[in-house]
Structure 1
């Protein structure tokens, strides 16, 4: 029974009816209702504003979805504060349009080596070259990035400087957020609203204050312990790779997902890696430390569950240099030695830093304070929820290699390969990827390029189209090293070919012949038909390695457009840019 406060506007009979209704709801339904009521209150507040409410634009550029998620938070806050707010994707605007932005709040991530998100490339180029006056526009920038890369938050820094150069007035300093961005984002948000304040001229009407049941909501801040249903090796016994297929139960999570979405996994550091770090640092495993945002824990537990103890960044090296006093590190950190630092740090991890440059004295708390939070790992979902209700599947390549005389391993991939056995709970949450979606019309043809584990989302795409009996043709390019060892989901794909849910399959196995054959070569071999599919409105998708495969596929696609379409290089670029803008060219690359 729900208890209503004394000042409740509801009659006893209405209270009884509401109580019965709310008590019958499950946690996801309660959570949805709470959001709905919040939206009603927000809309009511917006309705109460005068026509001349202050204009505010939230502009975002996103690769994995984090910037969009944060931008939506800013947008909702702006509406509640009475602003005439709009939210705009960089892929759908121009530099000149910013003249009408009013207050401009920018949330943008940096991708790769200081590059803008793919969908924001055209806007970024436009902004950097535009001859436009932004006098009268006030702005602030929240930049997302990863301190593991040299060009940390470079896109946000460039946009921040450019907006000022074009005459816009900065109302709050730019904040640069690492992968653990929540606290930094909140600091930026607080500083922005402290200046902008409320645009509301009248108080929003109050929503009835009753004590609704507390729902268990699972999300990034509260990951769901998903039980492993299956963990099987996909690659053959003689494969040079170790690729696994994982299945998790989502029963009780309240999660829903679509093909193209991502599953975030909260990994744990392996015991042997933790032990090596403890030995190299000389610290007591049982020492109590205060982990930011977590609380007091034993050092060994913190190193296992909470902290990144492998990734070596300039920031960490600089902090360790202060502790160790190493003169060699000081030389490497000099601005004039950036090339030497890059060469030295490549392939090294924190364990190498501790062993090669030991500190005479360091406390457990000092060590913990220089480490960043262990970030979640994002994996493309390899299943359709319609084909596997209550489940989510992943395709994961376990990373193991040698570097600087040591055996290394990927934190999350080997955690899933070695420790995520059947029946084991793994902390996960669903991350929406709105930039990688099947066409709304099932009659639309699709072309998918996904070598190796890049096949994951396309397994989901094909399953979804089979379940919905979509009539559009589908063409998959898959590649790996050897046909007999690395043909992932071979039987499933052949079944889909037989029943027509997959129209065509072209494969490239690079190590089965003297010359290397990759997916882009198969594309070029079938250039005429591929061009015909594009001209018929096909959507083109790529998933996999960004630095090599995706670039080679992109170049091959440009060549096909130019050759088969009879276009100049500039015209081919424009054609491909139009495909991107129309969301007919989508990439999920890493």
Structure 2
């Protein structure tokens, strides 16, 4: 600022002269100081423009996912209460069916049960996602209402993502009174896992601790025996007996009463429609923090690891470069959103008689205010069947009986009633026939369209497509923007009909993409709408998201590792070893490692064999590879747990040196591996069974024993 300008402020001339002596730089030091001041000011003023830019995706951490879908979801989300007692009162419901689900099965059971209670017993019933309500408000449910919990156990005794908040509350709350709560409970689990149905057992113990009253015994489904569906139906029959005998409910003839409407609206333009893009809504806070948004990812490379008569194994590299908000860490999962095969889509459109109206805009609206719309709307029939509904899923006996009311002919109705009511007839039938919806309707009435079957019924009753999760088989240190997955594309014959094949939905969808990239047809002739909705997937792309995992390498690279994997369970260990190779290359010390790997035959399905041998050369005596082959001609049958037992002393030695233990593969295999390690520790230490069990619990609590298992 010039002295002439300062003089306008009536500052005395003498003071101005004195200031001018110091305001004018007189030497090199002054110029340096002035440059520093100017630089500091410029740096401050450029904040947020040239540096310290705000993260454009920062808002996603605070965004309520239910506000992102528009329509019914977006309009109602800001008015939803998190008080379940208040919700019951507002909607006039007297029974609530809570659900906690990871794969969608428990959720499907909850919706089926609520619908049947309403139709058969005339009781106003709603379903409730456990993550949508404040757990403490369950205490406010009056004793005139009933609560039913249908909850799955995920992994080794863990709650599903949407059960996390309720799980925390039931385990940590005190001074809570649930004396007014009358409840029933049903758990979904798998006895191949050590903690079979642990979640429903812990929830029931917690409810009773707070004074809640169970009006019937807990029900449990066992997926290890393939009996989940029949276990649920048997428990449901007992529940309905309680309705009749304890509560005096009167059963009425069940007729379909829709809770939502699906209407055509030809005034809408194609640009207005959701053509199959996945619903980006995440269930609950824990899901939002563990999973990234769904994005479109390119498959940059796909190669066959092996082919067999009943299986293809793929290695696929994907590219995150176009999605700067997506990152992964070694050990995370990649979720793939599949599409349905064209043949099944066309069959269903045909039997419903709506082939010519497949592209007509459809609006889905809730009739019942307690109904939550989870399919993006508006949409179309072709999008529903290609991308939103699991049309390849088997049809259960409950739904078969329900479908009879829409049958075009008396003969079709009688056929469905017999199939739905006769448990043995149904079991024999599905052992030789792949009974999805389109095939069932065509079989029951091959000559007439099911024009009376409303789309609303299908949207309400059919399971919605969910993503399938794959362990990432690359290291984020070595390949930060190109995660890879390892996929077994399965095609299995039915038990009593080798000519009737059942194709895995997502794995065969990925196989079709891989074949297309190499200008080859699917080996079983399956075709898919690979370009995706609005051609968003053209050129070999998929809808996918990243899910965080606890299956992680130790912080220090010197920690010894014992890794056990069978089949594609090798995937995360490929990533672990790749990372250890990179760490060694930069001069860091790495710990001793043993990798136990099992497959059928060394010449058939030994995946990544050349890569493992190359990494063994790089790592030298730091890596020991131990194989187990279950179908190697001329050699005794071996499984990974057998090899762990044989090398028990070496395993115990690494554990004693602070080693971390990892298992990836089927749950039954993981259980046997744990028995083998426990036996080795028991012999080496002279422990009792109790001491061995206590050690097992302790190492898992410290995350020194980690599992990534399924089925």
Q: 2:441 aligns with which of 350, 354, 357?
A: 354
1:302 positional shift? 2.4
1:39-78 to 2 correspondence within 5 Å? 63=155, 70=162
Counterparts of 2:232 and 2:678, CA distance in 1: 30
Q: SS in structure 2 opposite 1:269?
A: coil
Structure 1 residues 510-519 or 19-28, which shifts more? Answer: 19-28
Matched, 1:558 2:683: no
TM-score, normalization by structure 2: 0.57
1:413 positional shift? 0.4
Given that 2:153 and 2:200 are in contact with CA atoms closer than 8 Å, whether structure 1 keeps it comes out as no
**Residue in 2 that maps onto 1:398:** 489
Counterparts of 1:360 and 1:415, CA distance in 2: 30
Change (3 A) 1:113 1:279: farther
Given that 1:115 and 1:154 are in contact with CA atoms closer than 8 Å, whether structure 2 keeps it comes out as no
1:98 positional shift? 4.2
Q: 1:437 aligns with which of 533, 544, 552?
A: 552
Given that 1:446 and 1:475 are in contact with CA atoms closer than 8 Å, whether structure 2 keeps it comes out as yes
- Residue deviations 1:196-246 (CA, integer Å, cap 9, x gap): xxxxxxxxxxxxxxxxxxxxx9997952111111010011x5675310000
**Residue in 2 that maps onto 1:454:** 569
Counterparts of 2:45 and 2:385, CA distance in 1: 46
Given that 1:55 and 1:101 are in contact with CA atoms closer than 8 Å, whether structure 2 keeps it comes out as no
Larger radius of gyration: 2
Q: SS in structure 1 opposite 2:302?
A: strand
Give 5+ residue unaligned stretches, structure 1.
1-15, 39-53, 76-86, 137-144, 156-179, 190-216
1:264 positional shift? 0.6
**Residue in 2 that maps onto 1:174:** none
Given that 1:285 and 1:299 are in contact with CA atoms closer than 8 Å, whether structure 2 keeps it comes out as no
**Residue in 2 that maps onto 1:83:** none
**Residue in 2 that maps onto 1:273:** 344
Counterparts of 1:437 and 1:543, CA distance in 2: 12
Q: 1:465 aligns with which of 572, 575, 580?
A: 580
Counterparts of 2:698 and 2:321, CA distance in 1: 41
Change (3 A) 1:486 1:101: farther
User: How well do the aligned residues superpose, as a CA RMSD in angstroms?
Assistant: 4.9
Counterparts of 1:134 and 1:339, CA distance in 2: 42
Counterparts of 2:389 and 2:571, CA distance in 1: 28
Counterparts of 1:266 and 1:427, CA distance in 2: 5
Given that 1:454 and 1:544 are in contact with CA atoms closer than 8 Å, whether structure 2 keeps it comes out as yes
Q: SS in structure 2 opposite 1:263?
A: strand
TM-score, normalization by structure 1: 0.67
Counterparts of 2:353 and 2:206, CA distance in 1: 56
Change (3 A) 1:560 1:580: same
Matched, 1:244 2:326: no
Matched, 1:488 2:607: yes
Change (3 A) 1:485 1:562: same
Q: SS in structure 1 opposite 2:542?
A: strand
Given that 2:487 and 2:507 are in contact with CA atoms closer than 8 Å, whether structure 1 keeps it comes out as yes
1:391 positional shift? 0.8
- Residue deviations 1:551-576 (CA, integer Å, cap 9, x gap): 33233333333333333333333322
Counterparts of 1:131 and 1:271, CA distance in 2: 47
- Residue deviations 1:307-346 (CA, integer Å, cap 9, x gap): 2111125364454344337345445555xx6676566556
Given that 2:493 and 2:500 are in contact with CA atoms closer than 8 Å, whether structure 1 keeps it comes out as yes
Counterparts of 2:545 and 2:53, CA distance in 1: 16
Q: 1:520 aligns with which of 641, 650, 657?
A: 641
Counterparts of 2:333 and 2:439, CA distance in 1: 32
**Residue in 2 that maps onto 1:168:** none
Given that 2:310 and 2:491 are in contact with CA atoms closer than 8 Å, whether structure 1 keeps it comes out as no
**Residue in 1 that maps onto 2:503:** 409
**Residue in 2 that maps onto 1:529:** 650
Q: 2:406 aligns with which of 323, 334, 351?
A: 323
Given that 1:220 and 1:429 are in contact with CA atoms closer than 8 Å, whether structure 2 keeps it comes out as yes
Counterparts of 1:61 and 1:406, CA distance in 2: 32
**Residue in 2 that maps onto 1:48:** none
Counterparts of 1:286 and 1:378, CA distance in 2: 34
- Residue deviations 1:362-387 (CA, integer Å, cap 9, x gap): 34554444323211111111111111
Given that 1:57 and 1:102 are in contact with CA atoms closer than 8 Å, whether structure 2 keeps it comes out as no
1:586 positional shift? 1.6
1:397 positional shift? 0.4
Counterparts of 1:588 and 1:245, CA distance in 2: 19
Q: SS in structure 1 opposite 2:453?
A: coil
Change (3 A) 1:539 1:572: same
Given that 1:508 and 1:518 are in contact with CA atoms closer than 8 Å, whether structure 2 keeps it comes out as yes
Q: 2:327 aligns with which of 252, 256, 274?
A: 256
Given that 2:291 and 2:548 are in contact with CA atoms closer than 8 Å, whether structure 1 keeps it comes out as no
1:549 positional shift? 2.3
Matched, 1:234 2:295: no
Matched, 1:425 2:576: no
**Residue in 1 that maps onto 2:388:** 306
Counterparts of 2:672 and 2:428, CA distance in 1: 26
1:461 positional shift? 1.4
Structure 1 residues 243-252 or 29-38, which shifts more? Answer: 29-38
Counterparts of 2:645 and 2:385, CA distance in 1: 48
Given that 2:329 and 2:476 are in contact with CA atoms closer than 8 Å, whether structure 1 keeps it comes out as yes
Matched length: 478
Counterparts of 1:579 and 1:153, CA distance in 2: 39
Given that 1:310 and 1:350 are in contact with CA atoms closer than 8 Å, whether structure 2 keeps it comes out as yes
Give 5+ residue unaligned stretches, structure 2.
1-41, 65-133, 139-151, 179-184, 213-221, 236-277, 365-372, 518-538
